[in-house]
């Protein structure tokens, strides 16, 4: 069976294999953060960390290219952790086990974490590759992308200097996107008053199932049903027609 180190370009896949051994769920990026800082120290690269936990590793410009523009390469440290129901995986201690099947890299019983482990691995390979001749390269590694983008949202002015910014969290190899899918969180408070259940009432449980999941950015244009919006429409109509009382939602 082929291993990751036999894939090309080998340095990227070797680093990705190392990253797979590091637990790194959202809001629990301490171990991958230490790995990155140790990497910078080992290769004598400048590094720094901000209050949000984001990491910046800097590679000086190649000789003769000091006047080239600084380029920022960005990925995120965290990953989505899902596993098969029968797979005994501890996300805080256990490594991901990658393997190659039918031309793809997959993981045994869990999500692979290529989002965005492969982006991190690409940055590390570039940072130490002497064949890459370029101006200064700043590699930015943000935290908590998958559950709120709080790392990116809490970046402070001056943490990096580059004005050319390349995000390494895309879906398709060999394609460059000008722009990105955004995200926003809304926190709302709605006052309500509890009242007794009307006499003669009977209870019903309404379940909405069978909808398709999808990426809120990449697949937003496909018109998939949103269970929250659909359920609210149902409850609104029932309230107008029958004056229902809502017990739980």
Residues with active-site annotation: 78, 145
**Closest to 115 measured CA to CA, from 79, 74, 166, 84:** 79
Coil, strand or helix: which one is 29? coil
**Closest to 139 measured CA to CA, from 48, 53, 64:** 48
- Give the list of residues 6+ apart from residue 224 with CB closer than 8 angstroms, or none: 211, 212, 213, 214
Coil, strand or helix: which one is 139? strand
C-alpha span between 7 and 124 (Å, rounded): 16
Strand order in the sheet with 46-49: 46-49, 55-59, 137-142, 71-76, 164-167
């Amino acid at each position: 069976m082929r291993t990751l180190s036999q894939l090309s370009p080998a340095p990227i896949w070797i680093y990705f294999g190392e990253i797979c051994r590091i637990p790194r769920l959202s809001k629990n990026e301490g171990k991958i953060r230490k790995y990155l800082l140790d990497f910078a120290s080992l290769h004598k690269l400048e590094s720094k960390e901000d209050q949000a936990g984001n990491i910046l590793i800097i590679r000086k410009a190649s000789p003769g290219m000091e006047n080239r523009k600084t380029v920022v390469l960005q990925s995120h440290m965290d990953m989505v952790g899902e596993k098969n129901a029968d797979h005994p995986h501890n996300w805080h201690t256990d490594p991901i086990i990658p393997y190659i099947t039918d031309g793809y890299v997959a993981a045994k019983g869990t999500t692979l974490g290529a989002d965005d482990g492969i982006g991190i691995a690409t940055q590390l390979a570039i940072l130490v590759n002497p064949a890459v001749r370029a101006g200064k390269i700043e590699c930015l590694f943000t935290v908590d992308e998958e559950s709120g983008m709080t790392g990116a949202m809490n970046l402070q002015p001056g943490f990096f200097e580059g004005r050319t910014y390349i995000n390494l969290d895309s879906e398709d190899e060999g394609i460059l996107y000008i722009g990105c899918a955004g995200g926003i969180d809304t926190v709302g408070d709605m006052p309500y008053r509890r009242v007794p259940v009307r006499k003669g009432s009977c209870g019903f449980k309404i379940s909405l199932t069978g909808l398709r999941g999808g990426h809120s950015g990449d697949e937003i244009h496909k018109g998939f049903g949103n269970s929250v919006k659909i359920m609210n429409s149902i409850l609104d109509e029932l309230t107008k027609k029958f004056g229902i009382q809502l017990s739980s939602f």
